[in-house]
Structure 1
Amino acid sequence: MGVPPHRALSKLSKQYGPIIHLKLGEVSSIVISSREIAKKVLTVNDLAIADRPESIGMETLWYDYKDLAFSPYNEHWKQMRKICIMEILSNKNVRSYGHIRHDEISKLVRSIRSHGGEPFNVTDMLLSYTSSVTARAAFGGILKEQDTLINFMKIGVALAGGFELADLYPSLKFLQIFSWNKYQLLKMRRKLDSILDVMLNEHKHKLAREKRDNEELVSENIVDVLLRKQQSEDLDVAITDDNIKAIIFDMFTAGSETSSTTFNWLMTELMRNPQVTAKAQAEIREAFKGKKTIEESDIQKLKYLKLVIKENLRVHPAVTILPRACREECEVDGYTIPYKAKVAVNIWALGRDPQYWEEPETFKPERFENSSLDFLGNNYEYIPFGAGSRFCPGMNFGLANIEVPLAQLLYHFDWKLPHGMNSDDLDMSEMPGVSVQRKNKLYVIATPYNPPIEG
Structure 2
Amino acid sequence: MANVDYQNSFILILLVCLFSTFFFLFVYFFKKPNNVSDLPPSPPSFPIIGHLHLFFSTSLHKSFQNLASKYGPFLHLRVFSLPFVLVSSASITYKIFKDHDVNISSHGPVGLDDCLVFGSSGFITAPYGDYWKFMKKLMTISVLGHQAMQRSQGVRVVEVERFYRNLFDKAMKKESVEIGEEATGLVMSILGKMCMGRCFSEDNNEEKVSKINAEFAALTQKIFLARMLCTPLEKIGISPFKKEVMDASNRYEELLESIIVKYEEKVDENDGNEGMDILLAACRGENAECKITRKNLKALLAELFFGAGDTSSTTTRWAMAEIINNPMIFERLREEIDSVVGKTRLIQETDLPKLPYLEAVIKESLRLHPPGVLLPRQFEQGCKIRGFYIPKGTTLVINAYAVMRDPDAWKDPDEFKPERFLGQEEEKKENVLKFLPFGAGRRGCPGSNLSYIFIGTAIGVMEQCFD
**Structure 2 length as normaliser, TM-score?**
0.79
Counterpart for residue 245 of structure 1? 298
Select which of 380, 390, 395 maps to 1:337.
Answer: 390
Matched, 1:200 2:255: no
Q: CA deviation at 1:30?
A: 0.8
Does residue 12 (structure 1) correspond to residue 67 (structure 2)? The answer is yes
Find 1:112's aligned residue among 163, 167, 170.
167
- Residue 214 of structure 1 aligns with which residue? none
Q: Does the 8 Å CA contact 1:18/1:34 hold for their aligned counterparts?
A: yes
Report the counterpart of residue 392 of structure 1 in structure 2. Answer: 445
Determine the structure 2 residue equivalent to 1:142. 201
Q: Structure 2 unaligned segments of length 5 or more: list them.
A: 1-53
Q: Residue in 2 aligned with 1:173?
A: 234
Q: TM-score, normalised by structure 1?
A: 0.81
Please state whether the residue corresponding to 2:231 is helix, strand or coil: coil
1:377 and 1:387 in contact (8 A); partners too: no
Quote the residue 1:271 is aligned against.
324
How far does the alpha carbon of each residue in 1:303-338 deviate from its partner, in whole angstroms, 9 at most, with x for none? 221221122122122112222122333332222223
Tell me, yes or no, if the aligned pair for 1:377 and 1:391 is still in contact at 8 Å.
no
Contact 1:203 1:224 in 2 (8 A): no
- How far apart in 1 are the matches of 2:110 and 2:395? 11
Report the counterpart of residue 95 of structure 1 in structure 2: 150
In structure 2, what is the equivalent of residue 295 of structure 1?
Answer: 348
Match of 2:186 among 119, 125, 129: 129
Count of residues paired in the alignment: 406
Q: Is this contact kept in 2: 1:27–1:169, CA < 8 A?
A: no
CA distance in 1, matches of 2:417, 2:321: 14
Q: Equivalent of 1:314, from 364, 367, 372?
A: 367
Q: Secondary structure at the match of 2:201?
A: coil
- Give the aligned partner of residue 370 of structure 1: 423
Structure label with greater radius of gyration:
2
Q: Secondary structure at the match of 2:137?
A: helix
Q: Between Structure 1 and Structure 2, which shows a larger proportion of helix residues? A: 2
- Report SS of the residue matched to 2:99: coil
Cα distance in 2 between the residues matched to 1:313 and 1:400:
14
Q: Is the 8 A contact 1:385 1:391 kept in 2?
A: yes
Answer with 272-281 or 158-167: which moved more. 158-167
Is the counterpart of residue 65 in structure 1 residue 120 in structure 2?
yes
Residue 212 (structure 2) pairs with residue 152 (structure 1): yes
Q: How far apart are the structure 2 equivalents of 1:175 and 1:184?
A: 20
Q: Is the 8 A contact 2:334 2:463 kept in 1?
A: yes
Superposed CA deviations along residues 64-115 of structure 1, whole A, max 9, x for unmatched, are 4111112222321121112223443113322332222222222222222223
Higher relative contact order (CA 8 A, sep 6+): 1
Q: How far 1:172 moved relative to its partner?
A: 4.5
RMSD of aligned residue pairs (Cα, Å): 2.7
1:378 positional shift: 6.9
Matched-pair contact (CA < 8 Å) for 1:284–1:302:
yes
Do structure 1's residue 223 and structure 2's residue 276 form an aligned pair? yes
Q: Which residue of 2 aligns with 1:418?
A: none
Assess if the C-alpha contact under 8 Å between 1:131 and 1:252 holds in 2. Answer: yes
* Correspondences of 1:13-32 after superposition (within 5 Å): 13-32=68-87
Query: In structure 2, the residue corresponding to 1:44 is in which secondary structure?
Result: helix
For structure 1, the 5+ residue unaligned runs are 211-216, 415-455
Contact 1:94 1:396 in 2 (8 A): no
Task: Specify the alignment match of 1:182 in structure 2.
Answer: 242
| 2:136 corresponds to 1:81 | yes
Identity between Structure 1 and Structure 2 (%): 27
Q: For each residue in 1:384-440, what CA deviation from the matched residue of structure 2 results, as whole angstroms up to 9, or x when unmatched?
A: 2222110211011111111122212111221xxxxxxxxxxxxxxxxxxxxxxxxxx
* CA shift in 2, pair 1:350/1:261, >3 Å: same
